[in-house]
Chain A
Amino acid sequence: MVGPIYIIAVALGIAFFMGLFGKSLKNLSEWAMLAGLGFMTYVSGQWLLEFMSNNRAVETIFTAGFKPPYSINLQMGSIEAFFTFIINVVGFLGAMYLFKDLKKTGPNAMMVYLVFIMSLNVVVMTRDMFNLFVFLEVGSIATAGLILLTKSGEALQAGMKYLIATGIISGVLLIGIIFAYYFSGSLNIDDLLAANMGASKTTVIAVFLIYVSIILELKPFPANGWGIDVYTAANPGIGALVSAATASAGFYVLYKLLPLGGAEWLNYIAVIGGITFVGSNLMGTKQDRPNRLLGYSSIGQIGLLMMILGLSDILGEKMMIIAFGILISHYAAKAGLFWLSGLIQAKDIKGWAALRKSPFLLFLFGTFVFALIGFPPFPSFFGKWELITTLAANGQWAWMVTILAGSFIEGIYLFRWLGYAIKLDHEDLPDFKIEWNKIFPIWIMAIVLYAVGVYVTPMVEGGMFINYLPLMFVLFLFAIDFLPVYIKNTISIGGIIWYMFHIYPVLEGDLLRLIFAGIFLVGGVLTLMAGYSKKGTRKGFYPMAMMMFAGLIGIIEASTLIEFFFSWELMTAGSYFLIIRGKRSMPHGYSYMLFSIGGAYAILFGFALAFASNFDTSLAALGSINLLPTLAYTLLAVGFMTKTASLGLHIWLPGAHGEAESDVSPMVSAILLKAGVFGLMILFLYMDRTSVGATNLLYVLGWVGALTTLMGNMSAAFQEDAKRLLAYSSVAQLGYILFAISIMSQLGWLAGFTYTINHFMFKAILFLVVGGIVAKLGTHYMYEMGGMIKKMPFSFIAVLVSIIVIGGIPPLSGFAGKWLFYNAVIEKGWYFQGAIIFFAGIIAFLYLFKLIHSIFLGQLKDNHRNIKEISAWILVPSYILIIGIMIFSAFPQYILQPIGDMLAPYFSTETLVWEGTKATTSLGYWDGTTIMIVVATAFLLLLAWLLALSSKTKKIEQFNIVFAAERPFRPETTHVSYNIYAGYKKALGFLITPLVTAFWESMSNLVLEFANWLRRIYGGSMQNYAIHVVLFIVVFYLIALGGL
């Protein structure tokens, strides 16, 4: 074992030695620096390994041969080993990254760099207060020097601000240290901690001064303008170091000194951390400069960590894993992001669209963003999960809200940024060179994130159940992403089919899950089949699609809360990437993500309450929530409803589904939305529905469902865009389902199931076929279509069948749904809502007619004369689904009867009775098979008659009669179906004024305006920043010690 002291000796030795190199050996300097950093990494790494593998005692290093407190001692324990290791790793990788910049500036810069990393090591290891001060100073001076690797006026100003602020802070620290010495007679940190200076009114002032200066070093909001400017102006390579290494060291110092003042001070630290977390992220929302944005985000993350330290009394032994998860994610992601920023060198986050030139870089960027927000499988996901659940277990609601609010705000700007990178139209994408020495460190950080994520999984309660198998498949698809579509498509379908066989025995006997698994997996196979019609490689599609399906099936399989949430987030991430693939999807993907994050946090809050109720990690915990049950139910319902796009939370859906690629639309519409339904069903089945809160909630949800249906159908009727029409139709259909299951009776649920299955089938058909047509014709607008019946007869039949199902017309299964539905409504007595739904049902005919009429009937457009039928790869899955519809329509009992039996134990009265093919309720009976036979016979007779007549019909060729001499100013006005329901629109249009959209828009404007107003504190004056620092001290003093 190499002693930790050699970190100092070797680093300084090399730094001093560089002065001897002179001109001839100048080129050796950079290699000497790398060697030094490598050695430091090795030393700390071997200690880390030692502590991880052997249970050995903390190593103390005595300098000068005397025991503390009489001499300075260093300490190397597992935590010190961890911190020095991560500091040295980022130091080493950062040196690689900055290799050319350092070389250009010369050996002096390398000395500074080496000494900088060394000083952070000592800051972590030292157990002497004044020694800590000295090496903090070494670190700040080195930082002030490294800022000037960028030779710009901005960097100079930033450096000066930094020097002024740290000058004041270190003065305060020095006074604190000397008084701490005066009170305790020692400078040794362990002695100081034992001196209990927080207890006495006279000695507490030293505690205050030390705390306030260490906290200020961590750049608390709002006294941090000087720190932000460093991030903004310095070379991003240096930003990475400050963000990853300095902040980690500073965080550890705070941790080390945490017991200095006693429990009361923890509250202050937590509050400051919370304010920093929320405030700094809020600032980020108005930020366009990438480095500055990263600066705000860094400070926000450190605020979160500070808060965790402050809450350490509450978090108990969980604090370690929480802080570890969040710290390591921040560390790796922030370093990676800063390094990426250095590669791209864009002045504006919009310039990151250049990343698209390299899919790998885009992958890295996505990884870092998702890791920061706390998506699985990154360590921050587990950290946040433990944090929220532990806080819930202690009843710390306010802290939970703070954390989730801050995280959400962070999501606002990070996902805007990611969206720009993926999709933004940018005329001249800046060129950037990819050098291996810059890419390599970024890759390492991404790998760290994944590896540590997997590593910590089993450390979290319930985490060992998480199934990484599907994720491995996703990873595999990433690896083969260069292959052509048909290979990847076959592999993906094969994977899903294999998983079906794998999962069937697991779910056998659990009908609820079996049905949804069927929807997800069969739906997956069928929608993927359409992918064979695509050419090329379709980069990135398959891993993301499989990620979504992995998440979906994970939800089904989940037996614990964390598994469910893990899969839920996985599904969200995958579907986000699918949705944003559409040509004009950037804003829609963004709003989808924001609603999803908001919903996920609502779910997280609800799950945390469930867990905290009786420390049960299994999903069954939802059944025994006794902490704020009404709030928990509401949050969970709202969370799931962000996915079902219920009224108020629906505004993302039309754009997201409408603009998505033709085979993505059916995936996200027919399949993905059902995840929300599944969530709601699970919730409703588990929750105590006799409680007042639950009853009220269900009543409200019933209304929400009814109104969603009305709004969805009306909006659909007034659409000109075929895919958006279908999207609104989805909103409406999900409204039916929500309404039906809110009834909470066997009939209602049967109706809900019928609608779920129907919607899955017909919406998949419609989106597949209409999407195919839209792609074929190159327009979304129905008034630019027409007469397709002759060109695309198979498509026509598919759409016709689907429309019959939606319309609830016998003999198809839509009628079964409606019949059950109205039975349930009447049984429950929700007449008003029922009336609304009935009315909405009539409106549905309007849009259905519009859809089929304007696409397939009427005049064929001139430019469509050579159009052929859409690809067989789209028609085949559609027709398989049609067969499914036919079977379900003719023999509903094979599915509905078992469902009814399954539901029986949950609902007191069994109201639907089956006799063979006949279902009876108190209100009447219905026999699917008989209806089918009757209608089919009638249909066949009619058809025969028509065919007999057809010989007498005379065929007339179509003439172009639209224009005689000139083109109309707005060609769409000549199409019969354009604005076909103008009259209705006049009468009822007010009902669908986009109030909800306006509401969310004004909300987001409010937040942004507030941020804009607030950020005026960062006016750029270095003196004002110094005043902020002093003001921070003063206010903290007045609150903590001034009795204010």
Chain B
Amino acid sequence: MIKKILIIGVLAVVGLIFFDLFNAYQGNESLSKTANYYAENGASQVGAANLVTAIVVTYRGLDTLGEVTILFLTAAIISFILKFREEDFMPNRSVRVTSELLDSAAQVIVPVIFMVGVYIFMNGHLTPGGGFQGGAVIASGVLLMIMANPNFGVSHKVIAVVESISGIAFVLIGVLGIVLAGGFLDNTLLPLGKLGDLFSAGVIPVIYTFVGLKVGAELSNIIGTISHVQNEKN
């Protein structure tokens, strides 16, 4: 009880800090200087209609690389924590009988989900959404497959290959930016094209595709590992 009162007291002061922050917040009437620069030059420098994408992939591309790395790390850590083994993915251990209806529904729906995912990250530079959202959607497709059929063999190998290749591609594009253009992850490796076209915005669609694939693979990896972990007998 005393502890709860202490916590409430502590949080009251945290509330005070937030109140300070709230008081400091005055809303915005105009853009900050950095944002203003992006608004004015983003389209011409990067060629992406979606400025958020322009920032995420190009201006702050290093953050995105770090972000992808975090998911990558998480997947790697989870698989070694849960003592992941290839054998666990062999579809010979029936855990649960699934309804045939769900199974066949999944077979119809999953390809659609994949298509949607791919669409989202391919169009990341034009419309809302991008690699992360698309990747998440693809992962949810994988999830559905696992739910429908727990014995579904998410081939770890395939996932690993997709993950690795897209990761390497991301880094390579970054390095090519140094060699061929102005710096690491420079967008102007490819022509910027016409604002609003699918094939525009330099390497953004390419990067976002790889990010999407990589995020999709990483998330599937995480989900697959958790769902297939066996309960140790002890």
Contact = CB atoms under 8 A, between A and B. Distances in A.
Do A and B belong to a common assembly? yes
Interface of A: 3, 5-6, 8-9, 12-13, 15-20, 22-23, 61-66, 69-72, 105-106, 108-109, 111-112, 115, 119, 122, 126, 128, 130-131, 134-135, 137-138, 141-142, 144-145, 148, 175, 179, 181-183, 185-187, 202-203, 205-206, 209, 1027, 1030-1031, 1033-1034, 1037-1038, 1041-1042
Interface of B: 6-7, 10-11, 13-14, 16-17, 20-21, 23-25, 32-35, 37-38, 45, 58-63, 65-67, 69-70, 72-74, 76-77, 79-81, 86, 157, 160-161, 163-165, 167-168, 171-172, 174-175, 177-178, 181-188
Contacts of A18: 164
A15 B59 CA distance: 24
Nearest to B161: A20
Given A71-B60, A179-B21, A186-B32, A131 B183 contact: no
Given A63-B183, A187-B34, 12 more contacts: A9-B174, A16-B167, A61-B183, A72-B60, A112-B77, A115-B72, A115-B73, A145-B77, A148-B80, A185-B34, A1033-B17, A1034-B17
5 contacts: A9-B171, A64-B61, A175-B21, A182-B25, A1038-B13
Contacts of B164: 16-20
A20 B165 contact: yes
A174 to B, nearest CB: 12
B77 A141 contact: yes
A456 B181 CA distance: 43
A112 B167 CA distance: 15
A1034 B63 contact: no
Contacts of A108: 76-77, 79-80
A65 B34 contact: no
B156 to A, nearest CB: 10
A109 B76 CA distance: 7
A489 B20 CA distance: 74
Contacts of A145: 73, 76-77, 80-81
B63 A16 contact: no
Contacts of B174: 9
Contacts of B186: 64-65
Nearest to B182: A65
Contacts of B157: 22
Given A63-B61, A70-B59, A205 B34 contact: no
B171 A12 contact: yes
A141 B73 CA distance: 7
Contacts of B11: 1030
B33 A186 contact: yes
Given A16-B163, A64-B187, A202 B7 contact: no
B175 A9 contact: yes
B183 A62 contact: yes
A6 B38 CA distance: 27
A148 B77 contact: yes
Contact of B73 (A9, A66, A142, A175): A142
A61 B17 CA distance: 37
Contacts of B160: 19-20, 22
A122 B187 CA distance: 21
A203 B63 contact: no
A40 to B, nearest CB: 14
Given A134-B63, A185-B33, A65 B69 contact: no
Nearest to B37: A70
A122 B35 CA distance: 24
Nearest to A106: B80
Contacts of B10: 1027, 1030-1031, 1034
Contacts of B77: 108, 112, 141-142, 144-145, 148
Contacts of B34: 69-70, 185-187
Contacts of A126: 62
A108 B163 CA distance: 13
A64 B182 contact: yes
Residue picked from B11, B62, B77, most chain A C-beta under 10 Å: B62
Given A185-B33, A205-B24, A66 B59 contact: yes
B210 to A, nearest CB: 11
A1034 B8 CA distance: 12
A291 B47 CA distance: 54
A517 to B, nearest CB: 63
A64 B59 contact: yes
A17 B184 contact: no
B81 A15 contact: no
